[in-house]
Structure 1
Amino acid sequence: MVATTQNGSEKLSPPSTIGEWSLSQIIAALSRPLPNSMLETRSQGGKPIEYISWHTASKILDKYAPGWTWAIMKIETTSDRIFIVGRLSITCAEGLVYREATGTERLKDEKEIWIGEKPNRRPLRDEHDRPVTELKELAYGDPSSNAESMAFRRAAAKFGLGLYLYDR
């Protein structure tokens, strides 16, 4: 439902019950641009990237797609990565609709071992003159929750939530 405010702008009244809105109404509501205050920024490749945090996406879904559910469908790992497939389900007037998405995160990072002090610091080398490396745990966050967050946000984007951010 759209109502007009006193200043002439449109305000969207969220559904009051589960399944009240059609899928197209939910997608239209979720596809609207978000205020900058709801966006986070991180650096990727030296460039700032705006994104929606998982908890912000959850709050928006609570408002415009009440009764939504999230499920982890599959978890796989390799020696250095975790892969998660998640399913976001939304009950709408047409019934239960879902979108699945993947998320991945590195489990460990291979780092060269350096020896010495600056300015004479240099990489440690083995008997074949190759750099010696060690696996280091990644410092930021838990890899499984990071991969799940990525999958959740991608699934929500398939319903329109923040999808426009992927075009930037």
Structure 2
Amino acid sequence: MAASVGLRLKAATSTLRSGAAATLLPRTCSWETAKGRRGFCSEAEKDVPTSGIGRPLAKILKELNKKVPDSAIKTRVEDGFSMKYIPWHTVNRIMNLHAPEWSGEVRSVTYSPDGNTVTVAYRVTLYGTDAEIYRESTGTTSVNDKGYGDPVQKAEAMAFRRACARLGLGLHLYHEDAL
């Protein structure tokens, strides 16, 4: 349910910036389907308040630093090591929910001199009512990786997730073994 707000809130941003009162938008998608599996549905649900779009940066960061539910965390095995991660599309939805006025951009795409790896630098910017802040990170992947997606796409997703972690989103995954 937390990520069900989606992109409909973005449309209300210009209304709120113009000084209009907060409105209610009909919710057209759901975080949980009727069968209990993650997904979308087309049935109209309860109205979603949009008054929280313009918030101070400290409140946005506080929300992003909360522990991500275990149901949103995936595990993969790489080089014999098991790693927990949050898929990029889930990170995107969480950002839309808690920081709907965020932006992201690829800063650079660099191939290694031998052409075996590609590194993407990515910047995520949060806009609060009182300030804005950005964090950057990189993601590197092998160009020979046979998994799903092309190498630049994979490196970008990795860099995006890491930049969001620098803002607090999913940061607990990096140190939960130490707790």
Show CA shifts across 1:83-133 (max 9, x none): 11111011112232211111111112xxxxxxxxxxxxxxxxxxxxxxxxx
Q: Is 1:63 the counterpart of 2:97 in the alignment?
A: yes
Cα distance in 2 for residues equivalent to 1:51 and 1:29: 19
Q: Is 1:149 the counterpart of 2:162 in the alignment?
A: no
Does structure 2 conserve the Cα–Cα contact (< 8 Å) formed by 1:102 and 1:151? yes
Does structure 1 conserve the Cα–Cα contact (< 8 Å) formed by 2:57 and 2:132? no
TM-score using structure 2 length: 0.65
Q: Which has the higher helix share?
A: 2
Between the two proteins, the alignment pairs up a number of residues equal to: 126
Unpaired runs of at least 5, structure 1: 1-12, 109-137
CA RMSD in angstroms comes to 1.9
Cα distance in 2 for residues equivalent to 1:14 and 1:59: 17
TM-score using structure 1 length: 0.69
Greater relative contact order (CA < 8 Å, ≥ 6 in sequence): 1
AA aligned opposite 2:140: T
AA aligned opposite 2:167: F
Cα distance in 1 for residues equivalent to 2:155 and 2:71: 24
Identity %: 36
Does structure 1 conserve the Cα–Cα contact (< 8 Å) formed by 2:74 and 2:84? yes
AA aligned opposite 1:23: L
Unpaired runs of at least 5, structure 2: 1-47
Q: Which has the higher strand share?
A: 1
Residue of structure 1 equivalent to 2:146: 139
